[in-house]
Structure 1
Amino acid sequence: MKKRIDHLPNWAKNLLWFAMWLIIFMIIRNLFPILLVSGPSMEPTLHDGAFVLTSALDESYERGDIIGCWGENEYADVRIVKRVAALPGDEVNVIAETGVVIVNGEVVVDEEHGAPVDPEQLAEFPMIIPEGKLFVLGDNAAVSADSRIKDLGLIPMENVIGVKLFGH
């Protein structure tokens, strides 16, 4: 390759190197997006202003994964960071008065960590998570806008930006 570019002027060589590095940067940026946590909804795990390195390579999600995704409904233009609480086929129930969240008969958010949810804002429960959707929660249920409420709802898997690799 060196012989092919030797005849080029320096500005053209520099432009080629710049273009190559730009392409490499764009590939890495799309495969490993870095997301900013906005607000206290993921505390104490992730704090407001934390950066989270994610991987867009793995599209198999598990309960407990922290993901970055585009919201739905009222949050359609917002990138959010939440924890996957339920997968397609899982049964989810939320008790509005206490904020308790139950997935497949197992309490995943108890009364101590839950927060009452306004019945007017609560999605319809119990529900079976449909194919292609995820039920997500913030770790700080008292302040988290998540799949419990109609304004966000379930997250389509195609909205997932990446799964957390590193961040604190």
Structure 2
Amino acid sequence: MGSEAGGGRAERRRLARRVKRRRRTRRVGELPLLVIVALCIALVLKTFLVQAFFIPSGSMEQTIRIGDRVLVDKLTPWFGSKVERGDVVVFKDPGGWLRGETARTAPDPVVVKQIKQTLTFIGLLPSADEQDLIKRVIGVGGDTVVCCDAQGRVTVNGSPLDEPYVNPGNTPSDIRFEVTVPKGRLFVMGDHRANSADSRFHLDEAFAGTISEEGVVGEAVVIAWPFGHWRRLETPATFRMVPDQARTGRRGPGRRRRGTPFA
């Protein structure tokens, strides 16, 4: 009886070991499939929902600093939502805006480069060669944006903007202008007004320095990295005070410019 009981226990142990081996083998076999599924999900997120972008310049300081990574909402425009005043948006270079802004970096080792390329492809890292810019929307189609009123403030449709987000020490603008934004276009400015070659520096070009809504990649909603800079990018309250119609007579897209361009 004792030998039979001992044999039964040994057989059960063998069966248990066999079951464990099968489970391990199944898990190992499922791993490539799980990796593929994860990559597909990440790729869908990058393409349609959210994407990380690297900030290479100081044109949005102190709101967004050099080296910050921001997450950009790419989903909302698919549902027909329009860009609003005060939004921080990433957009494609309209042509020549990026000239001279690309920083040189030391080349990575081959293995590191391959890992970065993979993470960039699936959207977990921003591309190093992006041809995109990030600015704040000041005026949308139909708005009249003016610099400046008697107190030195930028106005939109006659309503002065209270701009605490402007980099300390900067004036709202050293360049005077008056622009009526064409339909389907946006007038954008960086928060570091003394270091942002934005719509003000393209006033003598077509559409008076405004960018097309179609060129907008999405709205920057969160500073995701570094963790010490993490925060949501909220629309400033001052833009809620702006009326939809200009109080003064409408004019065609135009310009009045004064000042020296910044580097």
State if a TM-score over 0.5 links the two structures.
Answer: yes
Instruction: Provide the residue aligned with 1:69 in structure 2.
Output: 91
Instruction: Provide the residue aligned with 1:94 in structure 2.
Output: 147
How does the TM-score come out when normalised to structure 2?
0.50
Amino acid paired to 1:61: V
Q: What SS does structure 1 have at the residue aligned with 2:90?
A: strand
Displacement after TM superposition at 1:71 (Å): 2.1
Task: From 72, 80, 83, give the equivalent of 2:133.
Answer: 80
Q: What SS does structure 2 have at the residue aligned with 1:149?
A: helix
Instruction: Provide the residue aligned with 1:153 in structure 2.
Output: 209
Amino acid paired to 2:142: G
Task: From 166, 183, 187, give the equivalent of 1:135.
Answer: 187
Displacement after TM superposition at 1:154 (Å): 1.4
Is the 1:73–1:153 Cα contact (8 Å) retained in structure 2? no
The runs of 5 or more residues in structure 1 that have no matched partner are 1-9, 120-124
Aligned residues: 151
C-alpha RMSD over aligned residues:
3.1
Amino acid paired to 1:35: F
Displacement after TM superposition at 1:69 (Å): 1.2
Displacement after TM superposition at 1:113 (Å): 2.0
Q: Structure 1 vs Structure 2: percent identity of aligned residues? A: 31
Displacement after TM superposition at 1:72 (Å): 1.1
Amino acid paired to 2:137: V
Question: Which segment drifts farther, 104-113 or 77-86?
Answer: 104-113
Is the 2:154–2:173 Cα contact (8 Å) retained in structure 1? no
Within the alignment, does 1:23 sit opposite 2:81 as a pair? no
The runs of 5 or more residues in structure 2 that have no matched partner are 1-26, 99-129, 164-168, 224-228, 230-263
Displacement after TM superposition at 1:11 (Å): 9.7
Amino acid paired to 1:88: G
Displacement after TM superposition at 1:142 (Å): 0.6
Is the 1:64–1:83 Cα contact (8 Å) retained in structure 2? yes
Q: Which has the higher helix share?
A: 2
Q: C-alpha distance in 2, partners of 1:78/1:143?
A: 19
Amino acid paired to 2:140: L
Tell me the alpha carbon deviations over residues 50-102 of structure 1, each in whole angstroms, 9 at most, x when there is no partner.
Answer: 1111101123222111111112121277311111111111012235xxx8533
Q: Which has the higher strand share?
A: 1
Is the 2:138–2:187 Cα contact (8 Å) retained in structure 1? yes
Amino acid paired to 1:83: R
Provide runs of 4+ in structure 1 moved above 4 Å: 10-16, 109-112
Question: Which segment drifts farther, 83-92 or 145-154?
Answer: 145-154
Amino acid paired to 2:214: E
| Mapping of residues 99-114 of structure 1, within 5 Å | 101-108=154-161, 113-114=171-172
Q: C-alpha distance in 2, partners of 1:162/1:47?
A: 19
